[in-house]
Amino acid sequence: MCSSEQTAPSQQPTSNTTAKLPTLAIATPYQRDGATVQNWADHNGCGSSRLSTCVEIKLTQSTERLLENCKTDPTQFLRAIKEAKVALPNGQGWEAALATKKENTDIRDLLRIYHRFECFNIYSHVVGAGYHTSMHWVRDGRSNLIKKLCEDFPDPALSLSVIGSSEATLEDKWGSDWAFSGISTFNHLPYSRCLVNRSEIFDIAVVGVPFDSLTTYRSGAREGPKAIRWASGRHLSGRSFHPSLHFNPYESWASVLDCGDIPVVPIDPVLAMKQMGDALFELLSRSTSEKSRWSHPRLILLGGDHSIVLPMLRALHKIRQEPVALLHFDAHIDTMDPDSYPRKAWKSQASEIHHGTVFWQAAQEGLLLPGHLVHAGVHGRVSSLQDFHSDDSLGFLRIPVEEMDDEGADAIIKKIHDTIGEDVPVYVSIDIDVLDPAFAPGTGAPETGGWTSREMMRIMTVLSKLDVVGLDIVEVTPAYDSAGGDTAFAAANLAYEAISMMVQKEMETSKFEADYKDQREEL
């Protein structure tokens, strides 16, 4: 009655036909009242000599079809299982279907495999219990069926045993992280100590600048780089396909690295400025990849308070030998005259520079290009109207936060684009307090009434039309953030958006345009 050959039945099975199925070469470890697979096989007509080759299980036609699909065309097996759902009573859920006595038990077991995606639980908790549909059933035979299905099932996640490929490389086995594993680099990017490794070639580098000694209110932004990297770990670099731009910026023409932090001294601001300037110039002096048209790498700075932008602008001026345009997202203008602060009786040259005066100082040093300067999202208080007059004299255009409601995002984007221009090198500085505290509470000088994170992301699409030569995200202060790290998550995502826009800008040049067009057309 039972053949040793593992072949499909010669005739088309009909309802309630008897099908021959191969068993595992090893017997099930489960025993109950002395019953084993051997006893079950003998009871059903298979002798002991043939136990290792086959058993007979009574199957319906639909179940037989599933098994045949599994053996002959694994790619269709999932589809066949889905089709088998029609055998279940309409309106019954999974638990009800499993409990019913009216339907074939084999189909229910197959559906449970499909639904649970965990054969071990079926084997140990359902099969091992020896009780199904209000009747005792032959546990060992059923376990052989399910174990065999799990072995043949095309999805390895359903396998009872995990078998690693002998041909897999060590990189294949251990080279990938989950979002929660690995060291905290930005988006799990490769890490290099770029400042001490001059042979490192990169087009875009993420650089932490943990300095906050020049704040005028709440400190703590020195922890910003660490928090932003932690939040960025939510997305792996290999799983960073942009949903709108239709490409992964880390798998494009650009070489993107995390260069770690600049070890800035926290107790001497004058020395710290020197350290930051030298380190940033060192990184800007490095070579870019062969695919890049850029004359120097682009740095994405993670602050730190807003004073870190001054040594960055100085380094850019030194490497480019020209002033740059500025796109400044902030609740505050940061062009305050140092004398507007309460320091009349106590003055020093060092005290003129802090996070509220950096762009005033940059303008005095000739680092900025007048007429191509924009503050966007302004809604913080100033000392007097004179502060705005001083800002006007430096050549800035102010876009107050209310314009989002009055004119909309597209009008703001156009205003930024028209003021800065496409072919003018522009530095982008993002103070996270441009966002409303509901979206970014963890900052040193929060101001209510800011933009939402979605509005900010929409405005940032303008970067794909600008010649961005560097960018920072500053004033993330984790000590004041929400328990879930909302501010850090917002900052990490804005940095990713900026990198994506910068890469896309180059992809749309003649050098990459054909490949990018083909990639988008595929979608």
Which pLDDT tens digit goes with each residue over 136-163? Answer: 333 444 455 555 554 544 444 444 445 5
Those residues whose C-beta lies under 8 Å from the C-beta of residue 338, and which sit 6 or more positions away, are: 351, 352, 353, 357, 360
Q: How far is Cα of residue 43 from the mean position of the Cα atoms in its chain?
A: 56
475 with 444: CB under 8 angstroms?
yes
- How does DSSP classify residue 289? P
Structure tokens at 367: 């680092």
DSSP secondary structure of 126-141: IITTTEETTEE--HHH
Structure tokens at 341: 């602060």
Q: In 374-403, which positions are buried (b, 16+ CB within 10 angstroms) versus exposed (e)?
A: bbbbbbbebeeeebeebbeebebbbbebeb
What domains lie within the chain, and their CATH numbers?
18-158 (no CATH), 181-338+351-522 (3.40.800.10)
Give the H or E element holding residue 180. none
Strands (E), 93-222: 131-132, 135-136, 204-209
Own/partner pairs for 62-69, CB < 8 Å, 24+ apart?
Answer: 62/87, 62/104, 62/107, 63/19, 63/104, 63/106, 63/107, 63/110, 64/9, 64/13, 64/17, 64/19, 65/13, 66/107, 66/110, 67/19, 67/21, 67/149, 68/8
The CA distances from residue 333 to 303, 375, 433, 458, 515, in Å, are 18, 7, 12, 21, 41
Those residues whose C-beta lies under 8 Å from the C-beta of residue 129, and which sit 6 or more positions away, are: none
Give start and end residues of each alpha helix (H) in 298-452: 309-320, 358-364, 385-393, 403-406, 409-420
505 with 466: CB under 8 angstroms?
yes
Which pLDDT tens digit goes with each residue over 273-286? Answer: 999 999 999 999 99
Distance CA 39, CA 53 (A): 15
SS3 of 310-346: the string is HHHHHHHHHHHCCCEEEEEECCCCCCCCHHHCCCCCC
pLDDT tens for the chain, residues 1 to 523: 333 333 333 344 344 443 333 333 333 333 333 333 334 334 433 333 322 222 333 445 655 555 565 555 545 555 555 554 444 444 444 444 444 434 455 555 555 554 443 344 444 444 444 433 333 333 444 455 555 554 544 444 444 445 556 678 888 888 888 888 988 999 999 999 999 999 999 999 999 999 999 888 899 999 999 999 999 999 988 888 888 888 999 999 999 999 999 999 999 999 999 999 999 999 999 999 999 999 999 999 999 999 999 999 999 999 999 999 999 999 999 888 777 666 666 676 667 787 888 999 999 999 999 999 999 999 988 878 888 988 999 999 999 999 999 999 999 999 999 999 999 999 999 999 999 999 999 999 999 999 999 999 999 999 999 999 999 999 999 999 999 999 999 999 999 999 999 999 988 775 566 565 555 555 5
Distance CA 429, CA 472 (A): 5
Distance CA 232, CA 234 (A): 5
Those residues whose C-beta lies under 8 Å from the C-beta of residue 372, and which sit 6 or more positions away, are: 325, 326, 395, 419, 420, 421, 424, 426
Distance CA 54, CA 49 (A): 10
Give the H or E element holding residue 278. helix 269-284
Distance CA 385, CA 391 (A): 10
Quick check: helix, strand or coil at residue 476? strand
pTM of this structure: 0.69
310 with 362: CB under 8 angstroms?
yes
Distance CA 478, CA 267 (A): 20
Distance CA 245, CA 247 (A): 6
Those residues whose C-beta lies under 8 Å from the C-beta of residue 6, and which sit 6 or more positions away, are: 20, 22, 53, 54
